[in-house]
Amino acid sequence: MIVVMKPGATAADIGAVIRKAESMGVKTHPIYGDNRTVVALVGDLTRVTREVFDQMDGVLHTLRIQEPYKLSSRTTRPDNTIVDIAEGKVRIGGNEVVVMAGPCSVESREQIIEIAQAVKEAGATMLRGGAFKPRTSPYDFQGLGLKGLEYLAEAREVTGLPVITEVMREEQVPMVAEYADVLQIGARNMQNYGLLQAVGRQQKPVMLKRGISGTIRELLMCAEYIVSNGNYNVMLCERGIRTYETATRNTFDLNAVPVLKESSHLPIVADPSHGTGLRELVPAMSRAAVAAGADALILEVHSDPDAAVSDGRQSLTPEDFATLMQSLRRIAAAVDRKIAAPTKEQEQASQLVAA
Ligand code: PEP
Ligand code: MN
């Protein structure tokens, strides 16, 4: 249930609603939107009647939320959530489409710095790179771990690009959160509920990837695990699902973009690299994702894709990435959006390095 407050409701009115709900044994989540404040009530609502709240000062009306994903639902919050990254250096969910780019894995200090500079040069405003890698085979490269996080932090220092990187286990959350600007939950961990709760209990933004065989509804229920633990800075990522099709690594489900936009207020990130698995398909599907309404793209870029330790086949060269960025600007303009450009601070970071 949500209790919708009147535009002029005071903090005392909102406080009274919260106390009343908590006295009935349910959890409360006040959500402050541009146009209205609502108090979402979650938990066992069997003893809670709408009339109790309807009569309170400052209350406009109450609504039952039909969807099981209460806090992530568009009904609870009609305005888009905008996720602020690195103290507002990057904002995802507004009119500007953010491009995050970088290698699948951090392989060395030189590699990540070189790629960070190249993607920045082409116009990316965030850097991706895995330090902890979920690999299909236990014999494959598992990531540089802590060293990888340190190299990412150094690449951020040099370029000013905030960093997104995967956290695979609950006990790694404090360590990864210390280095990363955004925590990535990988597709294989979409339903790792303990991990979702742990990233929900801290405040760094989270990008939750859709599971390999996860439905859109399951993805939203997983986001709910994070949000209901207190962290509203969540983005949902479509990265392709497993189907009977073998022409591509995964089936990039672009339907998910407008479906999620309609059902939820959380920003949507599209990952055409994992979605297709083939670098020659990445530009077309990146353009399609922007046209479909994605709020951000996450793309794998490597200076020598054929020598990459992971996902080389789907990695763009920096040159191809730069060409793609130009066409993305035209697509974004055609749908009344813009590709986010680096901030002044980020521009300065590169000038310092060049000096
Ligand atoms: C990745 O981003 O490199 C990755 C491992 O992605 P996913 O979890 O979507 O497979
Ligand atoms: Mn990858």
Residue whose CA lies nearest to ligand 1 atom number 8:
186
**Over 90: is that where the pLDDT of 352 sits?**
no
Residue 220 CA to ligand 2 center (angstroms) comes to: 22
If one counts every other C-beta atom within 10 angstroms of the C-beta of residue 341, the result is: 11
Query: How far is 50 from 27, CA to CA, in rounded Å?
Result: 15
Q: Which CATH number is correct for 83-347, 3.20.20.70, 3.40.50.10360, 3.40.50.300, 3.30.565.10?
A: 3.20.20.70
Determine if the pTM surpasses 0.75: yes
**Over 90: is that where the pLDDT of 104 sits?**
yes
DSSP-assigned states of every residue in 300-339 = EB-SSGGG-SS-GGGPBPHHHHHHHHHHHHHHHHHTT-EE
Closest ligand 1 atom, residue 239 Cα: 9
Q: Summarize pLDDT for 121-142 with one digit per residue, the tens.
A: 999 999 999 999 999 999 999 9
pLDDT value of residue 351: 63
If one counts every other C-beta atom within 10 angstroms of the C-beta of residue 145, the result is: 14
Residues 205, 178: contact at Cβ < 8 Å? Answer: no
**Over 70: is that where the pLDDT of 354 sits?**
no
Nearest to 164 by CA among 72, 298, 65: 298
Closest ligand 1 atom, residue 133 Cα: 5
Among all ligands shown, which has an atom nearest to the Cα of 240?
1
Judge if the beta carbon of residue 274 lies within 6 A of ligand 1: yes
Q: What long-range pairs does 83-86 form, CB within 8 A, spacing at least 24?
A: 83/205, 83/233, 83/234, 83/235, 83/267, 84/205, 84/233, 85/126, 85/162, 85/181, 85/182, 85/205, 86/162, 86/181
pLDDT value of residue 345: 74
Residue 11 CA to ligand 2 center (angstroms) comes to: 46
Our mutation pick for probing the ligand 1 site, out of 271, 299, 310, counting the most ligand atoms within 8 A of Cβ, is 271
What is the CATH code of the structural domain delimited by 2-63? 3.30.70.1140
**Over 90: is that where the pLDDT of 218 sits?**
yes
Q: Which of 201-215, 235-249, 331-345 is least confident?
A: 331-345
CATH 3.20.20.70, the chain: domain bounds: 83-347
Nearest to 196 by CA among 178, 221, 175, 216: 221
Residue whose CA lies nearest to ligand 1 atom number 9:
187
* Whole-number percent of the chain with pLDDT over 70: 98
DSSP-assigned states of every residue in 97-134 = EEEEEE-SB---HHHHHHHHHHHHHHT--EEE-BSS--
Strand partners, 97: 339
Residue 250 CA to ligand 1 center (angstroms) comes to: 12
Among all ligands shown, which has an atom nearest to the Cα of 133?
1
Judge if the beta carbon of residue 342 lies within 6 A of ligand 1: no
Residues 101, 321: contact at Cβ < 8 Å? Answer: yes
Kindly list the protein residues that place their beta carbon closer than 5 angstroms to ligand 2, a single-atom ion.
Answer: 104, 311
For residue 330, give both structure tokens: 């035209």
Q: Mean pLDDT over residues 309-326, rounded?
A: 98
Judge if the beta carbon of residue 104 lies within 6 A of ligand 1: yes
Provide the residue count of the chain. 355
Among all ligands shown, which has an atom nearest to the Cα of 311?
2
How many Cα atoms sit within 13 Å of 312 on the Cβ side?
A: 8
pLDDT value of residue 36: 86
DSSP-assigned states of every residue in 255-289 = THHHHHHHHBSS-EEE-HHHHHS-GGGHHHHHHHH
CATH 3.30.70.1140, the chain: domain bounds: 2-63
Alpha helices in 124-245 (DSSP H): 146-159, 173-179, 193-200, 216-227
Query: How far is 201 from 98, CA to CA, in rounded Å?
Result: 26
Q: Helices (H), strands (E): how many in the chain?
A: 12, 15
DSSP-assigned states of every residue in 125-159 = -EEE-BSS---SSTTS----THHHHHHHHHHHHHH
**Over 90: is that where the pLDDT of 346 sits?**
no
